Structure 1
Amino acid sequence: MSNSVLKKAVLSFLLLVLPAALSGIGLPGSAGTAGSGRAEASSPQAAQEAPLRFGVLYLLSPKELYERWTPFAEYLSRKAGRKVDLVVPRNFDHLVELARSGQLDLLFVNPYVYILLKKEIGIEAVAAQVAYGNTFAPSHLIVRKDSGIKTLDDLRGKKIAFVSHLASSGYVVPRAYLMSQGIDVDREMKVVFTKNLPGTLLSVLNREVDVAGMCGVNYANLSRRINTEGVEILRTTEVSPRLPLVVRKGMDRALVAKIKTAAIGLKTDPEAGPTLKALDFDGFDPITDAEYDGIRKLARQTGLPH
């Protein structure tokens, strides 16, 4: 057979066979094709079964946060019938960023972050942390015993530490208290944000700052791990609601009800002992949005976003 005849035979074969073969092949990830990963992921059933992403407030080291919250995520998975994946953010701002971009379904946040995200993206509080038998907590102003600081007037011109500009009992409340006493924190003091709770307390102990504003519950918890004999509470300010457990806007109401029931039932569930031990607080109680109006008022009165 001549070369020209052979080429014509091969070409005819390809023209007959390739269209039929290609008709059963889809581009990788193209919608509607058999075996397409994207088509499977976008199906209603797959979306319904996707794990819930649970972001927690950055209060401790990532290792400590995983140890504290993984048992609770697993507990919610069992009670709600939906897998819950724990998400530990890099810091306060990262948690807010994840929530704003729709990457979280559940959050454990402080009251100030809650009111900001409630206004921006419509999150819903379903329960509030109970610590030391209460859903409310005071804020403390902490100084070294040998600092010579005895009155609020002694704080003028001094350096003060807060954990974050997004902290509630660790920034909004003590800042508002000082301003109510005639001390303009932003103008009369030098403000330092430590970005983690242990660092806030240690900054006073190590004489890096003169005073720190801290949540009373967090101070009590840290005092069990850090020797606080060298510091004292200069003032205790008004209380604020405890940290809420929240869900994203638009979550299925039946699923919200399961999550709320599971969280509130944690205190009385005989099987929840290991979970409560890991959390290191008493559990959760019901909460309403109106109970956070006090934080909104303080933020508004002191010129903070609200």
Structure 2
Amino acid sequence: MHMTKFSPKHIFLGCALVLFGSLAQAQAVFKVTAIPDESPTELARKAAPLVKYLERILGRPVEFTPVTDYAASVEALVNKQVDMAWYGGFTFVQANVRSGGKVVPLVQREEDEKFRSVFITSDPSIKTLADLKGKSVSFGSQSSTSGHLMPRSFLLQAHIDPDKDFKRVAYSGAHDATIAAVAAGKVDAGALNISVWEKFVKEGKVDASKVKVFYTTPGYFDYNWTVHADMPVALRDKLTQAFLSLDRNTAEGKEILELQRATRFIATKADNYKGIEQAARNAGLLK
């Protein structure tokens, strides 16, 4: 039998290649994205301490990768260009449909179990949803759960069809842009995410004596952190535990949770978003 002889040099090179391969695998960048429902600078600010935390937990570089629009966030995860995405309920449904059920929601904020939208105006004559007839109204992005889908769904339930009953329907692209449009008088009213509205009021970024909430929707499931179903279960579990372990009583946990506008994170599942999917189909927004 012929035995191949390996010199110490070959053995060293072989070991080096194995070591390099395992190091490269360990150092593969973990990419995170989010729907662009606020300004790019705000999204980057919210992501920074979370990225740092996940790097420590995962033991590898983590990178926040912004996307241009909601559709791009869906394609990025479906095509595995990113490892994890922060989705609104509707964006998750779109990604789930687009991937043929190949995405998995891991966690949501406690607040996302009963999330709400608000309708705001600077026009004192607008006091109810019915008063919006004949007015110009801005939603956020067309793919936004809290800035379009659910407000539209509740309008339809109140027998108000935005496309027929409003003078004009506008899409600002993001929640903060909707506030700006209403405050500047570019539209008579707008619908947006309640947590962004409350943040703007708290930080004095909107004159709450001029721009007011005149309707708050009932609660619904919303945002979540989602991964591709092909992600190894061990990594999924590690990520889930990382979010569930965030504690407001630690400096790190407090900073991350406050920026994420969360009391705490809780586990979630795809079935929680069946109501959103039905609302989307009823509103003709999901074919």
Indicate whether the TM-score tops 0.5: yes
Q: Is contact 2:123-2:188 (8 Å) kept?
A: no
1:29 aligned partner: none
SS at match of 1:135: helix
| CA distance in 1: counterparts of 2:198 and 2:219, whole angstroms | 15
Whether 1:226 aligns to 2:203 is no
Aligned position for 2:132: 155
Q: Does residue 202 in structure 1 map to residue 180 in structure 2?
A: yes
After the TM superposition, which parts of structure 1 deviate over 6 Å for at least 4 consecutive aligned residues?
none
Q: Distance in 1 between matches of 2:76 and 2:227?
A: 13
Answer yes or no: is the 8 Å Cα contact 1:129–1:245 preserved in 2.
no
Match of 2:164 in 1: 187
**What is the RMSD computed on CA atoms of the aligned residues?**
2.4
User: What is the aligned partner in structure 1 of residue 93 from structure 2?
Assistant: 115
Range moving further from structure 2, 275-284 or 99-108: 275-284
Give the equivalent residue in structure 2 for 1:265. 245
Measure, in 1, the Cα distance between the counterparts of 2:23 and 2:80: 20
Change (3 A) 1:136 1:198: same
Q: 1:278 and 1:142 mapped to 2: Cα distance?
A: 24
- Which is worse superposed, 267-276 or 285-294? 267-276
Q: Which amino acid aligns with 2:89?
A: P
**In structure 1, distance between residues paired with 2:140 and 2:209:** 21
Equivalent residue in structure 2 for 1:251, among 217, 231, 235: 231
User: 1:267·1:284 contact (CA, 8 Å) conserved in 2?
Assistant: no
> Which of 265, 274, 278 does residue 293 from structure 1 map onto?
274
Question: What residue is the counterpart of 2:153 in the other structure?
Answer: 176
The answer to whether residue 70 in structure 2 is matched with residue 89 in structure 1 is: no
Q: Deviations over 1:229-250 (max 9, x none)?
A: 2122222222121310111120
TM-score computed with the length of structure 1 as normaliser: 0.79
Structure 2 contact 107–265 (Cα < 8 Å) conserved = yes
Name the CA distance, whole Å, in 2 between partners of 1:187 and 1:67.
Answer: 39
**Residue in 2 that maps onto 1:214:** 192
| Matched residue, 2:10 | none
Separation of aligned partners in 2, 1:73 and 1:192: 34
Amino acid at match of 2:73: L
Following TM superposition, by how much is the alpha carbon of 1:109 offset from its aligned partner in structure 2, in angstroms?
0.9
State the alpha-carbon separation in 2 of the partners of residues 96 and 295 from structure 1.
16
Shift of residue 130, structure 1, vs aligned partner:
3.2
Give the partner amino acid of 1:244.
N
- Contact 1:173–1:238 (CA under 8 A) maintained in structure 2: no
Matched length: 265
* AA at the equivalent of 2:217: T
- Aligned-pair identity in percent equals 23
Unaligned 5+ segments in structure 1 are: 1-33
Provide closer, same or farther for how the CA distance between residues 206 and 137 of structure 1 changes in structure 2, counting only shifts above 3 A: same
Q: Does 1:63 pair with 2:63? A: no
Contact 1:139 1:173 in 2 (8 A): yes
Whichever residue aligns with residue 157 of structure 2, its letter is: S
TM-score by length of 2: 0.84
**Pairing 1:136–2:114 present:** yes
Q: Deviations 1:197-235 (Å, cap 9, x if unpaired)?
A: 211012111111111111222211222232222122222
Bigger Rg, structure 1 or 2: 1
In structure 2, the residue corresponding to 1:258 is in which secondary structure?
helix
CA contact (8 A) 1:163 1:200 kept: yes
Distance of 1:67 and 1:301 partners within structure 2? 36
Q: What is the CA distance between 1:48 and its match in structure 2? A: 5.6
SS of the counterpart of 1:58? coil
The alpha-carbon deviation at position 171 of structure 1 amounts to 0.6
1:46 alignment partner, SS class: helix
Note the residue ranges of structure 2 that are not aligned, 5 or more in a row. 1-12
Q: Distance in 2 between matches of 1:200 and 1:180?
A: 22
Report the Cα offset of residue 67 of structure 1: 1.5
Q: Which amino acid aligns with 1:286?
A: A
